[in-house]
Structure 1
C-alpha cells in the first residue's frame, strides 16, 4: 500500500510517501481501507516535536523552517518514529481478525482515535497516529472496539472531519457540563476544534460567543455562534468581567489571564491545546478567590464518541469541510493548514 511515513522530527522532508506492507489484523482487530483522513494540529505538532517540554512557544513558531525540532516530544513518550500519522479516519472494514465481529466487513466506520487501553476508570490513553500507525495510508488496522459504523448521507471527506476535532470538543463540552442557559466563550472559534465546540455547545442550549478573525465571523455564526468578537478586541470591555460561565480555550498563550478574569465566580476554564503558547501567566489569587475550576482534557470519556455518532445520524450537527487534497500532497495540505485561512477541516484522500 501507499502511505506517508514520518521519519522523525523536522520539516516537510520528514514526510515520505512510499510503499509499505499492508498491516494484518491480529486477534480483536479489524483492517480498514482508509477512505479519508483529516489534518489536525497534532500531526504537525508531533512532527515538529512541539510536545517536548523544551518548547516554550506556540505552534506557529515551532513550524518556522529556521527552527530546530526537538528529538522527542510525543503525547505519552518519545514518538515511535518512523510512524504513519493520521488521527482522523473514515474507513471501510475490509478484514477482521480472530474474535472480531465479521458483520463489520463492508461497513463505513469512524475510528475513535483516543483509546483507553486500561478502561474508562483510568486516564491512561493512546492515540492513533501518535502512539501507533494511523490513517495517512491506504489501509490501517485498529482494535475492533474502536470502530463505529455510521449511517448517514455525508461524504467520506465530511465524516473524516469528525473524530479528532469533534471528539476533543465533545469531551470538553461533556466534562464542563455545558447546559441550557450557560454563557460559553470559544477562542479560536473558526478552527477545527473551535468550530466543533461552537456547534456542540449550541446544541446543548448554551449561548455561544466565538472569537476569530473578522473574515470568518459570518460562517461561524451560521453554525451556531450567537455573537462573534475579533482576536484584537478588548474582551473585558466588550463582555465585562465575570460575565462568562465556561471558557473552552485551545488558544492559551498571552490571552490566558484575561480568560480567567472573564469567568464568573465558580466558572470553568477548559482546554485541550495551546496553539498560541503553552506557558501562561496564572495569578493564583484570581484562581482561588473566584473558586474557579481548570479542566485539562485529553482522554475522552466513554459517552463522547457514541454521542457524536448519534448526533450525525440524527442530523444534529453538520461537518465543516474546507477542502481536500490527495494523500501524496500532504505537505501542501499542511502548509495550507498553517496559513489558517481555512474554516473547519482540511482532509486527505488516499488513492484507490
Structure 2
C-alpha cells in the first residue's frame, strides 16, 4: 500500500458509527476504536471530509426495503424500524440486497474527501486527489441495468467514518471551490435524479412534474430539469413553498392540495404533462399517470409515501405511457453530474452539518422531513453548522 497523509502516518483506528443490526435509531453506535480499513488491489483509501445522509441509510437500517414492508416511510418507522418482520415472513427475500448485509456495518454512501493511500494496481499519483465517490460498485460484464453488485454503505462499509476504502474507479476526481460538506450533497441524490431524467429523455420545452421537490433527489431533479430547459412544476409541502420556488421552478403545487391532479390540470390542462419524475409514490401514484399526455413518461427513484399502490392499467396501455424504475445510475450519468459540479452549474443545497458522533440525532431530524436539501455529517466538525 502506498500512502501519504500530510507528513503524518495513517492511524490504526478511527472514529466511526456502526450499524449493529436492523431496527431503530438505537442500532447506531458511535465508536472511536474501529480499525482503519486497508485498500486491496484496485482500491483507494479516502480520508472522509463529509458524508451526506440519504433515504437509503434509513431504508436499509429500518428494513423498509423488505417485501413485507408496505407502509410509507413515516417518522415512526424511521425511528423504530419496520415492525413485525421476521426471517419467516412471506417473501422474505429483500428487494434491496439486505440478505447480503453483515453487521456491524458502517453506512454512508454520499462521500467527499481526499485519497490518502492506494492499493496495488492504482497509480500512486492519485494520492492527494480530492474526490467524490460513486456509491454503486458494479460488475461491468453484466447488462448495463443489472451491474450493481454492492452498494457502498450497504453491502460494504461507507463514509460515516474517518476513513473508507472504495474501488479506485468509484472515486471521481473533482475540482471545485465548494467545501467537502457541500460536495457531499451530490452523490446518490443527483446521479439518481439525472438518471431518472436521462431515461425519460426530458427535453427542452417539455413540462415535468417533480414530486417530493424539497428533498435531496427532488431538489436535484429541479436543478437538473432546469439545466435541460424544461418547464418545472414542483410538488412539496406548503411550508416549503418559498424555499422550493427559490430554486427557479415555474409552478408550485402544495402536497396538501385536495386534488393534486386538479391542481396540475389547472396549470397545464388535461393530460398536459410530458414527464412525471416521482420520488414519493403513495396514494397519488394513479393520478400521476392520469396527468401524463399520450406517449408521456413516468420515471421513479423512490416511494417513501407508500410503495404498494393500485394502478389502472388502461392509463399505461391506452396512452402508450413509458415507465422507468431507477436504482443503478450508469457511470456516464455520474460523470455528467461531476462535470456539472465542476462547472458550477449545480448549487449545493446544504441544510445542516452534524458532527459524526451526532449521526443518530441527524437521522432523527432527517425523518421529520422539515428540511429542504441535504443533511451532512463530518468526521471532523467544521465551525459552520447550519448552511445559510
If the TM-score is normalised by the length of the shorter chain, which range does it land in? over 0.9
Match of 1:315 among 340, 344, 348: 344
Distance (Å, rounded) in 2 between the aligned partners of 1:114 and 1:341: 28
* Match of residue 107 from structure 2: 85
Shift of 1:171: 1.0
Tell me the TM-score normalized by structure 2: 0.88
Change (3 A) 1:224 1:103: farther
Q: Is the counterpart of residue 199 in structure 1 residue 223 in structure 2?
A: yes
Q: Is the counterpart of residue 49 in structure 1 residue 73 in structure 2?
A: no
* Match of residue 16 from structure 1: 29
Q: Is the counterpart of residue 65 in structure 1 residue 80 in structure 2?
A: yes
SS at match of 2:193: helix
* Match of residue 236 from structure 2: 212
SS at match of 1:59: coil
Q: Is the counterpart of residue 225 in structure 1 residue 249 in structure 2?
A: yes
Match of 2:161 among 137, 158, 161: 137
- Render the CA deviation track for 1:61-80: whole Å, top value 9, x for unaligned: 53353852635747224122
* Match of residue 16 from structure 2: 3
SS at match of 2:283: helix
Distance (Å, rounded) in 1 between the aligned partners of 2:109 and 2:52: 7
* Match of residue 108 from structure 1: 130
Tell me the TM-score normalized by structure 1: 0.96
Distance (Å, rounded) in 2 between the aligned partners of 1:158 and 1:35: 10
Distance (Å, rounded) in 2 between the aligned partners of 1:262 and 1:204: 21
SS at match of 2:310: coil
Q: Which moved more, 1:238-247 or 1:335-344?
A: 238-247
Segments of structure 2 that go 5 or more residues without pairing to the other structure are 1-13, 88-93, 382-388
Match of 2:53 among 39, 51, 64: 39
* Match of residue 172 from structure 2: 148
Change (3 A) 1:326 1:74: farther
Aligned length: 352
Distance (Å, rounded) in 1 between the aligned partners of 2:199 and 2:141: 17
* Match of residue 185 from structure 1: 209
Shift of 1:91: 1.2
The CA RMSD over aligned residues, in Å, is: 1.6
Match of 1:292 among 321, 325, 328: 321
Pair member with larger Rg: 2
Distance (Å, rounded) in 2 between the aligned partners of 1:28 and 1:204: 36
* Match of residue 97 from structure 2: 76
* Match of residue 287 from structure 2: 258
Asked if the contact 1:321/1:344 (under 8 Å) is kept, the reply is yes
* Match of residue 161 from structure 1: 185
Shift of 1:202: 0.8
Distance (Å, rounded) in 2 between the aligned partners of 1:209 and 1:179: 15
Shift of 1:248: 0.5
Distance (Å, rounded) in 2 between the aligned partners of 1:330 and 1:70: 25
Runs of 4+ with deviation above 4 angstroms: 71-74
Change (3 A) 1:225 1:130: same
- Render the CA deviation track for 1:78-128: whole Å, top value 9, x for unaligned: 122221100110011000001112121111100001232234734130211
